[in-house]
Amino acid sequence: MSIRRCFKNQLFLFLILMSCGLSGAGEVHAKNFLLVIDPGHGGKDPGAIGRHAKEKDINLKVALQLGNLIKRNMKDVDIIYTRDKDYFVTLKGRAQMANKAHADLFLSIHTNSVASRRQPSGASTWTLGLYRSKDNLDVAKRENGVILYEKDYKKEYHGFDPNSPDSYIIFEFMQDQNMAQSVHFADLIQKQFKGYCGRKDRGVRQSGFLVLREVGMPSVLVELGFISNRTEESYLRSSKGQYTLAAGIFRAFKSYKEEEEKRKESTALVGVSAQHVRSHSTSPIQNKNLNSKEKIIFKVQLLSSGRKIATSDRRFKGLTRVGYYKSGTYRYTCGDSENYDVVNRLRRSLSKRFPGCFVIAVQGGKRVDIHAAINQYRNK
């Protein structure tokens, strides 16, 4: 360990000690990273059914193999399985486990299926958002359909009807502050599915998954492949296939966690204080009590990056008013308008180029609560 690194670590430890001292805690534990692995379906809910296999069994086997790989190789990670055997768990129950435990990351594992003559193949990774195509809606419909196994689903999910496209409109207005991290993790997984696992790459996609809506941390859902495709089904039920998919996700998780650690370390050291916020940028403070005198400006947050990117970078080509602020990572934005609808349209037009981009609100150079800002805009 270099002297500088050592000093950094000591400072980090000092900061932890300080905060523990203030809260009155006796012992110091470096908190392990907590991953929730959620094998979809189970018990009375088989999920999709192939010629020989059931989705619930494939999901569980890949989940357990992934967990074992992590336990063997990453001692500083704790794992919670939403189920580790063949039993039924509600979608809300799954999310609650993750929320109660204050997990750092939520990963839901599923297997795809379509009823068509020409059978597609390949793996995809999903984050929460509004569907952009009928295919994407169909995947969410099928996965959300499991709530119909629950007696009180209408009450539990506030009248959400998994089969009605109208129910999905709410996902258009959701602001997910974990979106950038979720999309980043999804990207890492897709790279491994394609490169390491050699699967056909069906990309990172968005749709309205209830289970992801309920969790309060970065979250993704993988569709390992199509159980309805005969060739793919035999891969999915083979131990080689299951191990390869688990190992691919493991590699992605390892990169994600290492990056997260660097990000947290830099946040702990520099803080998120105003001195690191440059001009034409905003501070990361969230504020629900909006100041009525200053203008609220809406922007589209495009991406976050551990490294600083020049606003002239080719990724931002053709965009106006590109800026950034720092909150752990560098967050890049574009657009500037008091009109939420204009910025939301801009966001929609950019969502292909920047999957997971979302609208933020800024007032007096500070990021403010988006719901409060939209409310204020609508009431004007």
User: What gap in Å lies between CA 129 and CA 132, rounded to an integer?
Assistant: 9
Shortest Cβ 47–Zn ion spacing (Å): 4
Residue 122 in the binding site for Zn ion (CB under 5 A): no
User: What gap in Å lies between CA 380 and CA 378, rounded to an integer?
Assistant: 6
Q: Using CB under 5 A, which of the segments 66-74, 87-95, 105-113, 114-122 binds Zn ion?
A: 105-113
Residue 47 in the binding site for Zn ion (CB under 5 A): yes
Shortest Cβ 356–Zn ion spacing (Å): 21
Q: Which is nearer to Zn ion, 222 or 296 (CB)?
A: 222
Q: Using CB under 5 A, which of the segments 23-31, 86-94, 104-112, 209-217 binds Zn ion?
A: 104-112
Q: Which is nearer to Zn ion, 47 or 241 (CB)?
A: 47
Shortest Cβ 31–Zn ion spacing (Å): 31
Nearest to 136 by CA among 170, 166, 118, 112: 112
Q: Which is nearer to Zn ion, 98 or 296 (CB)?
A: 98
C-alpha distances in Å from residue 72, one per residue of 77, 100, 245, 250: 10, 25, 17, 11
- Rule CB under 5 A: which of 3-42 touch Zn ion? 40
Residue 110 in the binding site for Zn ion (CB under 5 A): yes
CB neighbours of residue 265 within 10 Å: 15
Q: Which is nearer to Zn ion, 54 or 110 (CB)?
A: 110
Q: Which amino acid appears at position 239 of this protein?
A: S
Shortest Cβ 166–Zn ion spacing (Å): 22
**Residue that the structure tokens 């990963």 belong to:** 107
Rg (C-alpha) for the chain, rounded Å, is 22
Q: Which amino acid appears at position 227 of this protein?
A: I
Contacts 24+ apart (CB under 8 A), 65-71: 65/242, 65/243, 65/246, 65/247, 66/37, 66/109, 66/246, 66/249, 66/250, 66/253, 67/37, 69/246, 69/247, 69/250, 70/35, 70/250, 70/253
Q: Which is nearer to Zn ion, 47 or 122 (CB)?
A: 47
CB neighbours of residue 320 within 10 Å: 9
- The DSSP element (H or E) to which 298 belongs, if any, is strand 296-305
Q: Using CB under 5 A, which of the segments 142-150, 185-193, 285-293, 297-305 binds Zn ion?
A: 142-150
Residue 241 in the binding site for Zn ion (CB under 5 A): no
Q: Using CB under 5 A, which of the segments 102-110, 113-121, 131-139, 308-316 binds Zn ion?
A: 102-110
Q: How many residues bind Zn ion (CB under 5 A)?
A: 4
Q: Using CB under 5 A, which of the segments 14-22, 75-83, 110-118, 173-181 binds Zn ion?
A: 110-118
Q: Contact positions toward Zn ion, by CB under 5 A?
A: 40, 47, 110, 143
